[in-house]
Structures are given as structure tokens and as C-alpha cells.
Amino acid sequence: MRTKTPPTPPSRITGAAPDPAALLPELPCALVAWFTKTARDLPWRHTKDAYRIWVSEVMLQQTQVRTVIGYFRKFLDLFPTLADLAAAPEEKVLRAWEGLGYYRRARGLHASAKLLVKQGHANLPPDPELLATLPGMGEYTRNAVLSQAHGLPLPIIEANSQRVLCRILGVQEDPARGPVKKWLWHAAAKLVCTRDPGAYNQALMELGALVCSPQKPACLVCPARPWCAAAASGAPEALPLKTARPTITQVTEVCLALRTGEGPATRWLLVRRPDTASRWAGLWEFPHQPVPDDSTPEATLEEMVQGLLGKSAKPAIRHAGIIQHAITRYQVSMRVELGTLKTPRTPALSEHDASAWLATPEIASLPLSAPQRRVWNLVAQVGPV
């Protein structure tokens, strides 16, 4: 059998441990002992159920812990088992996820649950190769679940643990670079605590969240301080190396909330985004589009009305408000216009889009993106045009 060549170590601080394995067993034992005493009381830490741990780990990706807690409980109330999630309609899953963002995570959970149940599994099995084939199941998520639920000694690397390891090991290169990232995974594998790998992996993340913060790390109370090359250097904040953030681009959009009828007979025009959309796929929304640099919101609104309803349509329109939100490197200012039609029309859409005139109770049950839910909350309170 061919032996894999270890990845080339990156540039590191003078005095850093020459081999991560040299920190065994003291460092992992110290972190587990610290975690056992100081860990936050979080709902997913009261179970060894692989399904529940999986849900929590997916929710925690790019989302703060305090936000996830409420969603985690509600999600499991709706889908308490893997089979329940697999049997649920996608729109119900997306509606339960609404507000967490990054909806691809919810779709990955749902699709993976279906695959596992189809294969006869009642829960996530302790099979790394099988889990690696599931949609959206990256190495971090897989290893986090398997180490916490099944006690497999597998490493993890995410934002918090990456920062902790870069500082302990004195990595002086950008951890986003492929070769550096590969070496960090190799180093993390050497440091996994075999006695309680789940607690050790959680300790790394907890340390990054509570102590080894990006700015002003609390080195004086850090359990890893005796082995930390960055703390010994006197400049722990210098690591990991920070990549320059992209410039924020300002975008203006026009959103048309179009309705017809009055009272209980009121209907609203919503469009479902294609399943192939790069963002918010499958979610419902009010028609909206960006204002070109060489145009105005008024002209863009007029073009959008004519494109949707034809030149003969003359809905009464008034300005309802502005919704501000951010998407990656874009800061979006969405001008919401409320329109009223006497008679509903079938909008002109591409063959990949779907639309419907929906009553208020129906909108309440459909999955909308967070900005679009804010649009709905805004226009639902505005009286007739």
C-alpha cells in the first residue's frame, strides 16, 4: 500500500512545536478538562443522537449560536427524527428554516435524510465513507457528527478551531490557501483526543468562541496558553493572517408588491424562484430587480410592471418603504412599491419561473427569504392604494 506523503508545513513562528504530535497528550487533555468545566449549556450538547447533532452542526454554519438555539428547538419539534424530515415536503422544511439564511443547507439536510431513509437507515450511521456521499456533507460536518455521536477520532476545522490551531501551532501563512489548509487538517488529525474526540473537537470550537477571539484574546485564562506559539510571541492577534475583505458594493432594487381584491378576497402576486437559482432557490418572493446604473427606480418600476403585466396594465402604485439588507459583499437598498390591480392578470415569466395570486394565510405558510418576509410584513400593514 502506498503511504501518503505528509503535506509540507507552512511558515511558522520560531519556537512553535516542530510536530503537532509533540503536544500530545497534554494539550488535548487540558482542553477537554476545561470544556468539561466551562462549556455553555446548549441544547445539542444534551444528546448523543447523530441526527440532532447533525441538524445543530448544519445550522451553526455561518450562523451565531444564540440565533440557532430557537431554530434548533422548533425544527426538531417539527421533524423530531430522520424519518420525519425525509417525509416532509420541501416547502415545509424551507419555511422552518426561514430566517437562518443559506437555504442550501436546508436542502442538503432534506435531500440527505431522504437518501438515508431510502437506504434503510433510521439515523446517521458511523460510516464516514457513506456520509461523505450525502449532499452538503462536508468533511467538517461529517467529522463533527461522527466524533460527537459515535466517538470516532476524526478532526475538525472550522472558523473558530482554525483560529485556535493557527495560534497554537504558530502558522504564519493564510489558512485559506490550499496547501496551508491541507496541513492544518493533517495537524488537527494528529491532535484528536482518542478518549473523547467529541468533547475535544467541541473544546476547540468553544475556545475560539469564548477565549481565543479574533481581537483581544483572553490569553491569561486560556487553557492552551502553555503550548501556544502565538501567545508566547506576545502578538496573538497577528494570527491567523487576515485576507483583505472585498469592497462593499451598494445596490438599489425595486420590489413590486402587487395585490388585487379587498378584505378576505385580497390576493398577492408572488413568484417562486427556480430550483436552479444560485441563491434562495425554491423560495417565494415579490417580483424585484436591481436598478441599472443608467436608470432610475421610477423607470425600472415602469419597465418591471410592463414586463410582468403588459403595457395596458395600469395598477395604482404608491411607495411603501425601504428595506435594507446585505448579501455577501452587496449592501442592498430595496424600494418597496405597493400596487393594486382591479383584475388579476397572469404575469409574463420565463419558463423556469412559477407565479401565483396568493391569499394572506397562504403567504404565512410559504418559505420566503428574510428580506422578502420583511417586505411582506411591511406591505401587509399598508391600507389600499
Q: Is residue 127 part of a domain?
A: yes
Q: How do residues 266-301 score in pLDDT, each as one tens digit?
A: 999 999 999 888 889 999 999 999 999 999 999 999
Point out the domain boundary residue: 203, 238, 273. Answer: 238
In a domain, 385, yes or no: no
Give the domain range for residue 334: 249-379
Q: Under 8 Å CB-to-CB from 378, ≥6 apart: which residues?
A: 320, 321, 323, 336
Q: What is the pLDDT of residue 352?
A: 55
Provide the domain count of the chain.
2
Specify the pLDDT at position 385: 55
| Residue found by looking up cell 410582468 in the block | 308
Number of continuous H segments (helices) and E segments (strands) in the chain: 15, 7
pLDDT at 244: 79
Per-residue pLDDT tens over the stretch 297-330: 999 999 999 998 888 888 999 999 999 999 989 9
- Give the catalytic positions in this structure: 57
Query: Radius of gyration of the chain from Cα atoms?
Result: 25
> Does a structural domain hold residue 129?
yes
pLDDT score at 1: 42
* Residues 224, 293 within the same domain: no
Sign of the alpha-carbon dihedral angle for 281, 158, 144, 6: positive
C-alpha span between 227 and 23 (Å, rounded): 7
Residue 63 CB burial class (10 angstroms; 0-12, 13-18, ≥19): middle
pLDDT score, position 59? 98
Which residues of the chain, if any, have pLDDT below 50?
1-2
We report the CATH number of the domain holding residue 280 as 3.90.79.10
Residues 362 and 314 in one domain: yes
